[in-house]
Structure 1
């Protein structure tokens, strides 16, 4: 009886042929996570690259972005030890300004909970890899009443370069949704232009009132001692970048206003507060009327008492 000896090489060939003869599908695509998993990942991990799809199926632009991320996933993991996942979570996507059929798909790079929107081509793996790997930290400056003039030198001619400044306030949902966008603008113009944020309600109230900012978010460009306001209807990374580079020439030029006196600043603060809290005007008016009536009543009472005393003296 003949005995067949199976060598390791022959075994490998047989295994390969067996796999070819059996129908199977190779796992394709990024790891898909639900909303809770994504939130947990953002809270716990330092670097997370998330592909948001505008539907449960990844088609069209989403498919292109996923294919590109697959090509560079290992490089991203090796360089940053980052997670690279895909999700369909409209609530989370909306927080980063990704909503609607046209903008619902996109890649957000989370760095220590700070989002950066990828605004490059969907099918260029080299560009995407360079964009992610070279932006591990935020390039957006935080300006306040204390350091605004020192860092920008706006009134003296902006010798520190051009500054695109986004003015926000605490209860501005639109401002929060644009955080990833302004980070994208800063990443695009790194080492060319300065990008910053001023929060009116934390430590930038005087600066906000100095430049007459009434609506939020507002974008102002400070360039060579002059001021330019961004008044275009659309706000995206491409439009803001174009405005900062050349588009400002089509905007009206303004002189840099000097800081307000404490009295003028307080007066404008009161006016802004009353404008933003119209319901409080009615209450304030009622209090004012009550105080006036009390004062009048007290004056009449005092006058009556004085008259009685004078009458008694005459008697």
Structure 2
């Protein structure tokens, strides 16, 4: 029962009481009992009205500080935050609406807690462009509200955005899920490569989930953590110091997002339209999964004939538990020629060992003789014709 209905009913009862009193005066003393009974009924109804009226009171949302906000984030709660600022007229206008949202959540015993934060440092941390800003944190992952300031629309938005819109990809499942190099059946993917510890990436996180909500059912939106997925960083030549980097994967080609401003509207428009004005390049296929570090691993026949999930798990991580062998290199004609020469030298070497030492000894004697000759030649020339003849 609404407040208007309660007031209307109360007015009707008051009118009835006045009418009964008039009739009581006309009826004489017999009407005293009727008037007394009617008075008791009115008192009971007023008590009911007061109790029902208390249920319609609007409950003000609690304002929390930075420490409380951090604790709630660590606890992984569902938190709906109204970010406001000092002297903000629009924030004051939105306050009654947000309090009504808080009242509806409490009345429905929802697990979503509504709170108010008046802290410009946190506003800057999440790169919120205007105040008030309504942000829904789903276990630390935020999404920005873009709709009208209406209670019913906000409550419907909360119901539709409880689940995360964006996905998280890693080295092992990126190609399997996106099929980026083949452009096959999974559709287009808008992927941000980002280090979650960088302030620029934290600022983009709120808008990124909002972009995913905008593109829901039309395009896949995902995130790659560059701090742990080194293979993807190397494959797509991501400059870690310049993250976040956004790439659209469309039909086997990749299109980099070239703007410095990461706005919700610009990212969504790029994913659907403006990528056509960007020079794309073919997506190179990933390296063969069983040829990492030039090693090969034996696959048991039961693994091949067993469930597909078991083989997929083994290909991603399980093969590391097996003993690895070096991958044999393909044999060439040069390898055959080199091997033939080595065999012939090996066959000849034992028989020619004595001849080799004989030749080496002869050369050594010959060198010593030459040295002796050259060392004694100047002495003979100086003894025979070097000085003047006697008697001249």
TM-score (norm: length of structure 1): 0.67
Contact 1:140–1:196 (CA under 8 A) maintained in structure 2: yes
Deviates more, 1:151-160 or 1:103-112: 103-112
Equivalent position SS for 1:231: coil
Cα RMSD of the aligned pairs, angstroms, is: 3.2
Aligned with residue 200 of structure 2, among 174, 183, 188? 174
Evaluate the alpha carbon distance shift between residue 126 and residue 241 of structure 1 in structure 2; reply closer, same or farther with a 3 A threshold: farther
1:295 alignment counterpart: none
Q: Kindly state the Cα deviation for residue 27 of structure 1 after the two structures are TM-superposed.
A: 7.3
> What are the within-5 Å matches in structure 2 for residues 1-315 of structure 1?
7=40, 9=42, 29-44=60-75, 46-55=77-86, 57-60=87-90, 62-77=91-106, 78=108, 80-98=110-128, 102-103=129-130, 105-118=132-145, 120-202=146-228, 204-214=229-239, 215-259=242-286
Alignment length (residue pairs): 246
Contact 1:51–1:65 (CA under 8 A) maintained in structure 2: no
TM-score (norm: length of structure 2): 0.55
**Structure 1: how far apart are the matches of 2:280 and 2:231?**
22
Higher relative CO (Cα under 8 Å, sequence separation at least 6) belongs to 1
2:327 alignment counterpart: none
1:300 alignment counterpart: none
Q: Which has the higher helix share?
A: 2
Contact 1:164–1:220 (CA under 8 A) maintained in structure 2: yes
Note the alpha carbon deviations across 1:184-237, whole angstroms, 9 max, x for none: 1112222221111111111x2121221222220011111111111111232122
Q: 5+ unaligned residues in a row in structure 1: which ranges? A: 17-25, 264-315
Larger Rg: 2
